[in-house]
Amino acid sequence: MVELSQTLLNLPVLICRLRGDVVQVETWISASGKHGHTGDWLVRDYITGETHLRATSSRYLMIDKKTRKLSFLKEAWADQIKPHVLDCHEYPIIMGDNRKLLQILDVDTADYVRTGLSPLWNDLDINQYVNYHIKYISWILEGAPRSFLESHKLSAMTVEYRKECGRESMLHNLSAVSRNGTSATNSTDHFTEDEGIEFDHSLYLQDGSEVLRARTMWMPKSI
């Protein structure tokens, strides 16, 4: 028996919505390579049609339920989902693959360390694994100091999933500022305040294996 697993999420937030706003969500699947699929989402304002959020989660892969190792996409299953997969050259909507830019962090290179993260019982799916983006994203957000989270808003995020997180896991988050728009790194590379701040994040299990690495982009709340 196999199950689908997702490895990469690209999520630029274009405009933050206010409570009470009505939005419409469009989502579709397209093929990605021989064994994978890409899921895309568009969140638009229901009245104006303006796009507020684009997201691409790519490289859905098959994992053997027992061994937890990668498995080939079975022909029978591929035929089953084929009618639901779009064959369109315009997709995915976010073409850039930021994975190569994502840095691995260790205690020496990290600016912030957050320990003591663990899933609660209701964070686990039916297979007893943490399988919800929202939980991983909340662990990623813990990497930045809270004063920063209050003064800035998240504007984009790339997450690369590398290992599953099961019950009884204890995790820690290493985070580092990878680009700060408020300071110039050299004479030819002047960033300005409104270019925002980028963080790199790595989430580790106690045995040292990396659960995910991520990059978040933040803008000051005043903008």
Residues that bind its own copies (CB under 8 A): 116, 118, 120-123, 138-139, 141-142, 146, 149, 167
**How do 23-32 and 85-86 pair as beta strands?**
parallel
Distances (CA, A) of 102 to 48, 58, 76, 204: 35, 16, 35, 15
3-state secondary structure (DSSP) of residue 6: strand
CA atoms within 13 A on the CB side of 198: 16
Cβ distance to its own copies smaller for residue 93 or 197: 197
Q: Read off the amino acid at residue 126.
A: I
Distance CA 73, CA 75 (A): 6
Distance CA 85, CA 40 (A): 11
Q: Read off the amino acid at residue 44.
A: R
- With residues binned 3-state (H G I as helix, E B as strand, rest as coil), the percentages for the chain, rounded to 5, are 15, 45, 40
Cβ distance to its own copies smaller for residue 73 or 149: 149
Cβ distance to its own copies smaller for residue 55 or 94: 55
Minimum CB separation from its own copies for residue 139, in Å? 7
Cβ distance to its own copies smaller for residue 118 or 183: 118
Minimum CB separation from its own copies for residue 151, in Å? 13
Minimum CB separation from its own copies for residue 168, in Å? 8
Minimum CB separation from its own copies for residue 61, in Å? 24
Minimum CB separation from its own copies for residue 191, in Å? 26
Cβ distance to its own copies smaller for residue 61 or 203: 203
